[in-house]
Amino acid sequence: MTAKQQAILDAALQLFAREGYAGTATSKVAKTAGVSEGLIFRHFGNKQGLLDAILEQGREHAKQAFAKVVMEADPKKRIEKALEVPYTINQRDYELWRLIYAIKWQTQQYDNSMYDPVRLVLTDAFKQLKYADPKAETELLLMYLDGMATALLLHEPDNKAAILEALKQKYDL
Amino acid sequence: MTAKQQAILDAALQLFAREGYAGTATSKVAKTAGVSEGLIFRHFGNKQGLLDAILEQGREHAKQAFAKVVMEADPKKRIEKALEVPYTINQRDYELWRLIYAIKWQTQQYDNSMYDPVRLVLTDAFKQLKYADPKAETELLLMYLDGMATALLLHEPDNKAAILEALKQKYDL
DNA sequence: TGTAAGTAAGTGATTGCTTACTTACTTAAA
DNA sequence: TTTAAGTAAGTAAGCAATCACTTACTTACA
Considering the domain architecture, whether residues A27 and A62 belong to the same structural domain is answered as no
Considering the domain architecture, whether residues B139 and B88 belong to the same structural domain is answered as yes
Cα–Cα distance between A95 and A8 in angstroms, integer?
15
Write the CATH number for A36. Answer: 1.10.10.60
Whether residue A15 lies within 8 A of chain B, CB to CB, comes out as: no
Contact assessment for residue B17 and residue B102, using Cβ atoms and an 8 Å cutoff: yes
Cα–Cα distance between B143 and B5 in angstroms, integer?
36
Q: Which residues contact B41 (CB under 8 A, 6 or more apart)?
A: B26
B98-150 confidence digits (pLDDT tens): 999 999 988 766 788 889 999 999 999 999 999 999 999 999 999 999 999 99
Considering the domain architecture, whether residues A79 and A145 belong to the same structural domain is answered as yes
Write the CATH number for B154. Answer: 1.10.357
Mean pLDDT value across residues B27-51: 97
Considering the domain architecture, whether residues A90 and A25 belong to the same structural domain is answered as no
Q: Is the CB of B136 less than 8 angstroms away from the CB of A162?
A: yes
Query: Is a pLDDT exceeding 90 seen at residue A79?
Result: yes
Cα–Cα distance between B173 and B164 in angstroms, integer?
11
Give the distance, in angstroms, between the CA of residue B77 and the centroid of all CA atoms in the same chain. 22
Residue A63 lies inside a defined structural domain of this protein: yes
Q: What is the pLDDT of residue A114?
A: 87
A22-48 confidence digits (pLDDT tens): 999 999 999 999 999 999 999 999 999
Residue A50 lies inside a defined structural domain of this protein: no
Considering the domain architecture, whether residues A28 and A84 belong to the same structural domain is answered as no
Considering the domain architecture, whether residues B130 and B83 belong to the same structural domain is answered as yes
Residue B50 lies inside a defined structural domain of this protein: no
Across all strands, nucleotide nearest A2 (CA–C1'): C9
Considering the domain architecture, whether residues B35 and B11 belong to the same structural domain is answered as yes
What is the number of domains present in chain B?
2
Residues of B in contact with A159 (CB under 8 A): 133, 135-136, 139
Considering the domain architecture, whether residues A78 and A120 belong to the same structural domain is answered as yes
Structural domain of residue B32, as residue ranges? 1-45
State the pLDDT confidence band at B10, using cuts at 50, 70 and 90.
very high
Interface probe for B, chosen from A104, A112, A143 (most Cβ of B below 10 Å), is A143
B43-57 confidence digits (pLDDT tens): 999 999 999 999 998
Count Cβ neighbours within 10 Å for each residue of A46-78 and write b for 16 or more, e otherwise.
Answer: ebeebbebbbeebeeebeebbeebeebeebeeb
